[in-house]
Amino acid sequence: MLIAQVTDIHLGFDPDNPAEFNRKRLDQVLRYLNDGPNRPDLLIATGDLTEHGDAASYRQLANAFSICSFPVHMCLGNHDIRSNFSAQFPERPTVDGFVQYALEVGGVRILVLDTVEEGRHGGAFCDMRAEWLRSTLAQDRDTPTIIAMHHPPVEIGIVWMNTHPEEQWVSNFTQAIQDAPNIKGIMCGHVHRSISVPWQGTAVAICSSTAAQVTLDLNPIDPETPDNRPMIIADEPGYALHLWNGRELVSHFASVGDRAVLAKYDDRLQALIQQLIAERPN
């Protein structure tokens, strides 16, 4: 099974522009997923779907996703507003007002979590949400399970985007999953960069944004002294493909844009391909 991921779309950043930068980049990725060589079985959008959480931007989002020939599922990020999201997408399940739900697809269970505290940039995961997760995991300890959420529960080294490991929400989340042996991976967004981290016996895969990217700068930052460092850059729009091979979740990170083809599978490469395939067990 192939799961595509997009994240940090930030529609409505330039709300009065019909050719908005972020919309054009999202469309570019969705067209590639739809028409390219790796059409996914489903797509998960891991939050910051809009810039301001306004109704008009969620209508734009629905319009953008309407081209997809595969199911699209969404979780919320810190730029999203639950009430406006749910008004546009009433079919998305909620639990006690939080956008959390379980999907069963291709022999895998995907748990979509809500890590938002409106008005806060960083993550949140209260006792109510943690109890739902704990209870849902306890219902099935055998089916391979993947968690999708906006905020990563790990420290990533970019200081101004970091999650501190001692934040209460991280503790709540960690305790909720600690007795679940069948979690095969956690997919996140928020950081606007592709990052992979081993954590709590599983792997955290953080996807790049379809909108602008955060600069890779691991140096300390002084909140009292601006130093004119680059913060946001316009790398190509990113996405991820997570391949469930029946044993592991294999995460590929990629971007969409023009690039030179340096080799094709033609007669000159056929012998190499045959040799590589022949070396492997049948």
- 108 in Cβ contact with 72 (< 8 Å): no
Superfamily for the 2-278 domain: Metallo-dependent phosphatases (3.60.21.10)
162 closest CA partner among 195, 130, 210: 195
DSSP 8-state code for residue 193: S
| pLDDT given for residue 39 in this prediction | 97
Query: For 188-200, how does the pLDDT look when each residue is reduced to its tens digit (9 = 90+)?
Result: 999 999 999 999 9
Rounded to an integer, what distance in angstroms lies between the CA atom of residue 43 and that of residue 27?
14
| pLDDT given for residue 16 in this prediction | 82
Query: For 87-99, how does the pLDDT look when each residue is reduced to its tens digit (9 = 90+)?
Result: 999 988 899 999 9
| pLDDT given for residue 15 in this prediction | 85
Report residues of the chain scoring pLDDT below 50.
none
Residue boundaries of the structural domains of the chain: 2-278
| CB within 8 Å of 219: residues ≥ 6 apart | 159, 229
| pLDDT given for residue 148 in this prediction | 98
| pLDDT given for residue 244 in this prediction | 97
- 153 in Cβ contact with 123 (< 8 Å): yes
| pLDDT given for residue 120 in this prediction | 93
